A and B are shown apart, each in its own frame.
Chain A
């Protein structure tokens, strides 16, 4: 036992809790907007998801015989549940949120060994699990509305039918119309209003609609140096470039870049999901490749896949590729060339 402390004897005023807290702060505007847009059911769902994540994580951590407090205090479980609930339909029943949250923190994270050890983004893993297992509940969208508090309890906890307000998300609508053989021009009519989409007054998941607020949150994180621009920018690029190309080739079949950028969970994914440090590469170039591939896969799933939205699938696929990206993309070491051989002496 050596009582002498190793250098450095100074430390930047940062901690995991602060990092997670800043991300939560960046998510708050978009979340509040979601609450405003969808009313009390959204609040219920959010609260249920967070409580489930906290209790579930506390339970498994205690089962492992580890200290519960530091694990909960790092805020990662809350962030995971928060991200998950933002990607759920706002009027989903309570058990969807509970099941998703528990799956995310327990199967998605703690089973791998806890914070920092998981291979897949827990929130996206949970979302895909829910989407595959409960397709009906996960694709019942509603047009923005604000039911009263008592009604909201019935919606969230007693699965009161919501036919009157049922609607479809833009991507879902386009996909459905395609299967009916209707072209993009017609499909988009009355559905695609760029300004509304920018602000987020559209049908979609709880917190993924407010593109501008998510963008502001993301820029805030970049400014605070919590994330870097590489992965988000590359992801948007990965969606926009093929969209632009194919739209130019066949405008009636392929949606343009603005439709893609402003719909679905792309903004949320670009700034808050592909930037998850645990499951993304650890160099700037690696993150760029990762984001670009996520964007490209998202566009491919949206365009040709069976599901209308592809962010979660794209992210999970690329999570699996992260170790190999890290293996091949490494920074050049001072005094060495890219291959690791020492530079030659020259005067």
Chain B
């Protein structure tokens, strides 16, 4: 009786082990398609604010789990949600919410029209010409902050996006209470 059990379990183990081994060899996935899919979701402006070399690097870090889904500041909560959905994890939006969306703005009084900012802008969101005041297209700005770094007069700065009648919405009720 005991012998039969040992034999049958051994056979079962061997067969399933072989099956798994064969499956691993023949159904092998080349590379990690997740990285490409994640990269698709990222803004693609290669701004480097996440601390990784561009969006590909960030996608790799996300895929191997070494970076949180909240890593992308210009992406905002929409991207956090998308990444969390893709990775099948719960998004912790609490940290992202605080900062709020930002946008670059030019202080016209001190802009010298040096054109440095629009040379580095990854989305061509800054319009201007040499010796002329530059303007930021709000719709195109991802608030990556590259322009802020290169501006010699601190004329271009990231600002909180002003709330308008169109963008305003109700706050979350009962926020202070335990869930």
Contacts and interface: CB of A to CB of B under 8 A. Distances in A.
Interface of A: 1-2, 6
Question: Chain A interface mostly helix, strand, loop or mixed?
Answer: loop
Interface of B: 170-171, 173
Nearest to A114: B178
Contacts of A1: 171
5 contacts: A1-B171, A2-B170, A2-B171, A6-B170, A6-B173
Question: Chain B interface mostly helix, strand, loop or mixed?
Answer: loop
A1 B176 CA distance: 11
B51 to A, nearest CB: 33
Nearest to A2: B171
Nearest to B171: A2
A331 to B, nearest CB: 24
Contacts of B171: 1-2
Contacts of A6: 170, 173
3 interchain residue pairs of minimum CB distance: A2-B171, A6-B170, A6-B173
A6 B171 CA distance: 10
Nearest to A6: B170
Nearest to B168: A2
A2 B173 CA distance: 10
A205 to B, nearest CB: 37
A163 to B, nearest CB: 52
Nearest to B175: A1
Contacts of B170: 2, 6
A70 to B, nearest CB: 12
A1 B171 CA distance: 8
A68 to B, nearest CB: 16
B172 to A, nearest CB: 10
Nearest to A113: B178
A6 B170 CA distance: 8
Contacts of B173: 6
A2 B176 CA distance: 13
Nearest to B178: A66
